[in-house]
């Protein structure tokens, strides 16, 4: 077991490249199952969740090769319709394999997925949508046993909530279904558009991805292609928060301006100076930071729930009170008690958090309880006086490729060490 040792109080300065997006890479890897020839995925981040996806692909019968940010998947040998419980439990997004396996083999047998415990994240939207496409699903003792007769068929599906995972599962299942599928109230996240771009390169006919209505005209078969995963907007937002919290000045390379449009106004409100030129973002922190009137997490193009925790860590040092309203996941405040251990002043009431800015945070032993909460503790540790020890790194490693190496490039005093016990 490892821990991050952070000696805080240093301004971040320098340039860092933003990794490929975890939440785009995972559904693209699942989509490889649908193809009849090899796929080459570039800019694929080296993450625990990507490793878990590759294990699932290999179990299904794919041949997988990883080399320097590129994953090559040969799906021609896919014959296995089941995913072992141990693999399903490694990450929540493993459920996205269901639509791809069912469409490829006409049957699937998987357990319910695992991942970060962020409160109820039912997969009922996924299952209801796949049933509309003709998949027969039996739920029993934590397993889903699924089959269909012949090909899945197109259907109009109106989602009660713009679920990213459900939208992805529908895209995968409908790409080779018979007829036209229309998704109403589809998720609009950039990762959805990236998945659709990959599918279209493979021969699919997807229109409207990134909008609230998406149409998928089913095709008989898909072929492999080369595809580069989009940059990770949440990693970018995390490093922006770290620079702002330390009063630093950084350049992030490889970003997409449109993808960061929901978070940039929050940093401007905090007093940061931001300039974007092409795929580069320049941020200069302010001292002191200004408080944030109200940060409400919403589906894209609203403020992303995944950026809430790192931005909250930044706001603990603002000159005044900041307000956060978490509208996506009910257990997304697990980082708050750990920030309080470091001297933050935060009051919780249901989905609302009131952050009273303090002059200084202090290093302390803290534990990451989930992925983005862990990133928040790193942000706080970078700005705190003294040494912060962050354990629970398996959560952070699910979404950040060697976070300590990126931050070291920006001048942080941070390293990974073996934890005692």
> Which residues have C-beta within 8 Å of that of residue 92, sequence separation ≥ 6?
113, 114, 115, 116, 121, 165
Contact predicate 332/118, CB 8 Å? yes
Catalytic residue chosen out of the listed positions 32, 39, 44, 116: 116
What does the DSSP 8-state code read for residue 33?
G
Query: Which residues are part of a known binding site for UDP-N-acetyl-alpha-D-glucosamine?
Result: 92, 121-125, 306, 328
Annotated binding site for phosphoenolpyruvate: 22-23
Say how far apart CA 119 and CA 145 lie, in whole Å. Answer: 25
Count Cα atoms within 13 angstroms, Cβ side, for 61. Answer: 15
Beta bridge partners of 323: 354
Rounded distance between C-alpha atoms, residue 130 and residue 138, angstroms: 12
Nearest to 263 by CA among 238, 293, 231: 238
State yes or no: is 116 an active-site residue: yes
SS3 state of residue 326: coil
**Element at 125 (helix H, strand E):** helix 124-132
The residue with tokens 């021969």 is: 203
Triad 398, 50, 107: Cα angle to 5°:
120
Where would I find the beta strands (DSSP E) of 18-69?
39-42, 63-67
DSSP 178-237: BSEEEEES----HHHHHHHHHHHHTT-EEE-BTBSEEEEE--S-B---EEEPPB-HHHHH
CB 372 within 8 A of CB 309: yes
337 Cβ neighbours under 8 A, 6+ residues apart: none
> How many CB atoms within 10 Å of residue 212?
14
The span from the CA of 325 to the CA of 305, in Å, is 10
Of 328, 314, 339, 334, whose CA–CA distance to 263 is shortest? Answer: 314
Alpha carbon of residue 272 to chain centroid? 25
Residues with a known catalytic role:
116
């Amino acid at each position: 077991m490892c821990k991050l040792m952070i000696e805080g109080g240093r301004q971040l300065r320098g340039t860092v490249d933003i990794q490929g997006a975890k939440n785009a890479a995972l559904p693209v890897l699942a989509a490889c199952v649908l193809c009849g020839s090899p796929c080459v995925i570039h800019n694929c981040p080296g993450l625990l969740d990507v490793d878990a996806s590759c294990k699932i692909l290999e179990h299904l019968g794919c041949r997988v090769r990883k080399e320097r940010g590129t994953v090559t998947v040969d799906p021609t040998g896919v014959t296995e319709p089941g995913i072992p419980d141990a693999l399903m439990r490694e990450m929540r997004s493993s459920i996205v394999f269901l639509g791809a396996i069912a469409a490829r083999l006409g049957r699937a047998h998987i357990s319910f997925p695992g991942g970060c415990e962020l409160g109820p994240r039912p997969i009922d939207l996924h299952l209801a949508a796949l049933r509309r496409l003709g998949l027969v699903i039996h739920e029993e003792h934590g397993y889903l046993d699924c089959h269909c007769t012949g090909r899945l068929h197109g259907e109009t599906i109106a989602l009660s909530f713009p679920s990213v995972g459900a939208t992805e599962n529908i895209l995968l299942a409908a790409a080779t279904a018979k007829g036209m599928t229309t998704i109403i109230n589809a998720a609009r996240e950039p990762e959805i558009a990236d998945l659709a771009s990959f599918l279209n390169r493979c021969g699919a006919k997807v229109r409207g991805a990134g909008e609230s209505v998406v149409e998928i005209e089913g095709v008989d078969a898909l072929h492999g292609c080369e595809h580069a995963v989009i940059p990770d907007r949440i990693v970018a937002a995390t490093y922006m928060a770290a620079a702002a919290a330390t009063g630093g000045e950084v350049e992030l390379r490889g970003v997409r301006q449109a993808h960061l449009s929901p978070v940039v106004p929050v940093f401007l409100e905090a007093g940061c100076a931001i300039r974007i030129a092409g795929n580069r973002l320049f941020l200069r922190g302010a001292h002191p930071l200004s408080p944030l009137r109200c940060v409400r997490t919403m589906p894209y193009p609203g403020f992303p729930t995944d950026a809430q925790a790192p931005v909250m860590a930044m706001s603990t040092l603002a000159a005044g009170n900041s307000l956060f309203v978490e509208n996506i996941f009910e257990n997304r405040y697990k980082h708050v008690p750990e920030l309080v251990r470091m001297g933050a002043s935060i009051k919780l009431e249901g989905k609302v958090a009131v952050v009273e800015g303090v002059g200084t945070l202090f290093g302390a032993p803290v534990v990451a309880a989930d992925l983005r909460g862990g990133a928040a503790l790193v942000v706080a540790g970078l700005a705190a006086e003294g040494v912060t020890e962050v354990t629970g790194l398996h959560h952070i490693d699910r979404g950040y490729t060697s976070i300590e190496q990126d931050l070291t490039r920006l001048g942080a005093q941070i390293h990974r060490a073996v934890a005692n016990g």
